[in-house]
Amino acid sequence: MPQIHTYPGHRKFVWFTPQRRNPTEYELYTVGQQSSPKQWLHVDWPIRFDDGREPYTEDSTALRATDWEGYRDPTRTWYRPYVVSQCQVERTLDRLVPAQLEDAGTTEMNPAWARQALGTYYMAWPFVEYGLFLGLCYAVGEALSDTVEFMLAFQAADRMRHVQDIVHLSFDLEDSVEGFADTQARQAWMEDPVLVPTRENVERIIAAHDWGEIVVAINLVFEPLVGELVKDRFFARNAVYNGDPATPTILGTVRDDRRRHREATSELMRFLFDDEKHGAANREIVQQWIDHWTPFSERAARSLRGLFEIEGITAQPFDSAWESVTKNHADLLAELGLRQPVLAGK
């Protein structure tokens, strides 16, 4: 039976063991939302899949935990403050981005940057974000505790926000920058050698069936190698050299989201690796996933060299950007006691 904790002076009780002396607001609104017959759902599962499978099963992932409910999101993200925070962010972008583009106008923004870097390649990036959104949605449906499920749900919501921010930017660019168009973006996503390996990488993630593997593939491999290279090292850093003040503003909010995702995922890994019964096996499984997914993301990242070599734009060299990205990736994995696979050319 779940433990009941009462707190003198407070008219409340909780059905779980809080991480600290008193439960946080995040815990009160998150823990206990996902029921199972092992806890307080004592009538067995009221619904099942058509094939008789239970809604949540241990074999949905190769990872194991003695108590999945023991995981806590270090960012303490729950619905109401998340909505308030992101509403403020989006309202700021609504006001700031059009004003920045109006100042840049047609005289300051590099036409090659507007036409190719933004119109073709950045406008193709919603396909990436939507693909990762789909992968995370599957993970949300399979995750084995409410605290893990909610953490992934907010990550999925962030991906959809990123899609919408880019689409909204395209409207603002059409109004402010003469000659801008995103009509080539879909074809580039499907056929351009610069983007095809990224598309294939995302499609492989969507096709994965282990929700834990999906989380690792996105947050510990794809995003540190491909996402950071494109969004931070290419668009955010080079936009200023090409008269584009708006894209770095949008990507600043994306960087904040990535930090939150990385913290939550790293804590999930530590939680699993520290499990007295399953920790060693979990670490081995995650390392195998890192080894499996890194070559796909490395191939995608190296193909993105073409972004840095678009004719007519000013951009920092690809090699220095890739070196920084791979170092950050190695540091991220080392913090978790994992190793970066040997990369091509190293």
DSSP symbol at 246: H
pLDDT band at residue 8 under the 50/70/90 scheme: low
**Of all helices (H) and strands (E), which one includes residue 186?**
helix 185-191
DSSP symbol at 340: P
Residue 179: both structure tokens together: 């000659």
Q: What is the pLDDT of residues 71-84, one digit of tens each?
A: 999 999 989 999 99
Three-class SS state of 6 = strand
Mean pLDDT computed over 322-340: 97
Q: How far is CA 329 from CA 179, 190, 201, in A?
A: 38, 28, 17
**CA-wise closest residue to 10 among 23, 26, 20:** 23
Q: How far is CA 282 from CA 56, 66, 72, 277, 279, in A?
A: 19, 12, 18, 10, 5
- Residue 15: its pLDDT value, please? 60
Q: What is the pTM of this model?
A: 0.90
Q: What is the pLDDT of residues 50-65, one digit of tens each?
A: 787 777 789 999 999 9
Mean pLDDT computed over 249-253: 95
Burial (CB count <10 Å: 0-12, 13-18, 19+), residue 317 = exposed
